Structure 1
Amino acid sequence: MKLRTIMVSGRERDLAFAWNEQFAPHVGALKRRAFEELLDKATGALFVEHDGVVAGFLVIFREGADYDSENYRYFDAKYDSFLYVDRIVIAASFQRQGIGRAVYEELERMAREQGAAKIACEVNVKPPNPDSIVFHESLGFREVGRQDTCGGEKRVALLVKDCD
């Protein structure tokens, strides 16, 4: 498996947008223009390839980014050095094959290489996403807080994993 950037190809952005909408509410639904802006602002917008086939994507930010997500701002106010996973989607046909775990292992390697002390992310608890909570805990993430978003429609668990 390898990660590669998606910054150029419109076809791959179309696929990422379709997956993003398919996996809402576990990842935040966005209008197409907002999704494009997210990819353009991100530190990295990466596709996951498995045996030459695109299997998923993720969007990451470093600390100090010009990004107004409530969840990102929580981490940016609390930590000096981190890599934030804004969203990660593994296509349904590729789930439960170890791809998500491999992606996070690669992210941890990238974080260390870039000098980031932590990986940060959030997981919905309202609406519930218990599989994701269990998955992140199995990788060594710990909950550091919870917050309501979207005017109280959502509640997230804020998670971090130390990279040192």
Structure 2
Amino acid sequence: MSIVIRDVREHELDSVLALNNNAGLAILPLDAARLRLFFDTAEYFRVAERDGNLAGFLIGFGSDSQHDSSNFAWFKQHLTRKFFYIDRIVVASRRRGGGVGRAFYADAQSFAELRYPQLTCEVFLDHGADAALLFHGSFGFREVGQNNMPHVDVRASMLLKDLCSYQWVHDTYGDALPDVPWVGHRRELQRAPRPTGT
């Protein structure tokens, strides 16, 4: 059974919202307006499909975005290089342990390493974090600090991974990446003119 990672579609936002708000204490709840803001502004917003069903989603922002998360702000304050921030990843409970999370992280890293030298995220520490910390450690993340999140009383382990491919890509292409579909920005692809029928 293959896993397909692709850009989210607008009509799927209600399903994404339900996935998020059923994920438990490891993910902050969302409302429809905030999710819509993510849809409109996130640099990376992709879903996983398995057997034709929505199996999860991942949302990420580049360090130059106006994202207002306190954890994103922590990274902006503490890091001196550009970074790509994974705001949230959710895998449907029935799909956990089946490779969806690893497929998401491989896809997000492939996107990020063309544009950013560092990949960042956080793990909430107050609700049984060992599995999440082990997962991220196996992907090469390391803790670079902790953040006590205001207004939600949650302590987060702030994780970072250096992206070794970034320097070669940057030295070779600068900011002018080749014009191939899999390199395109999500918002650029959404704005691209659609071919008309002939």
TM-score of the two chains, using structure 2 as the length reference:
0.75
Equivalent residues, number: 161
1:83 is aligned to 2:84 = yes
Structure 2 CA distance, aligned partners of 1:81 and 1:67? 14
Runs of 4+ in 1 over 3 A off after TM superposition: none
Give the number of the structure whose residues are more often strand, by fraction.
1
Which letter does structure 1 place at the counterpart of 2:154?
K
Structure 1 CA distance, aligned partners of 2:128 and 2:36? 27
2:190 aligns to what? Answer: none
Could you list the per-position Cα deviations for residues 17-64 of structure 1 after superposition, in whole angstroms to 9, with x for gaps in the alignment?
001101142111122212222222211211112343321101110011
Q: Work out which of the two has the higher radius of gyration on C-alpha atoms and give 1 or 2.
A: 2
1:131 aligns to what? Answer: 131
TM-score of the two chains, using structure 1 as the length reference:
0.90
Secondary structure, aligned partner of 2:35 = helix
Which letter does structure 2 place at the counterpart of 1:74?
W
1:151 aligns to what? Answer: 151
- Taking a change above 3 Å as real, the CA distance of residues 79 and 28 of structure 1, as seen in their structure-2 partners, is farther
1:64 aligns to what? Answer: 64
2:16 aligns to what? Answer: 16
**What is the Cα-based RMSD across aligned positions, in Å?**
1.6
Which letter does structure 2 place at the counterpart of 1:49?
E
Residue segments in structure 2 that go unaligned for 5+ positions in a row: 165-198
Percent sequence identity is: 30
Structure 2 CA distance, aligned partners of 1:13 and 1:136? 27
2:104 aligns to what? Answer: 103
Structure 2 CA distance, aligned partners of 1:99 and 1:79? 31
Could you list the per-position Cα deviations for residues 103-162 of structure 1 after superposition, in whole angstroms to 9, with x for gaps in the alignment?
11121111122x211110000002332211111111111000001013361000000111
Residue segments in structure 1 that go unaligned for 5+ positions in a row: none
Secondary structure, aligned partner of 1:151 = coil
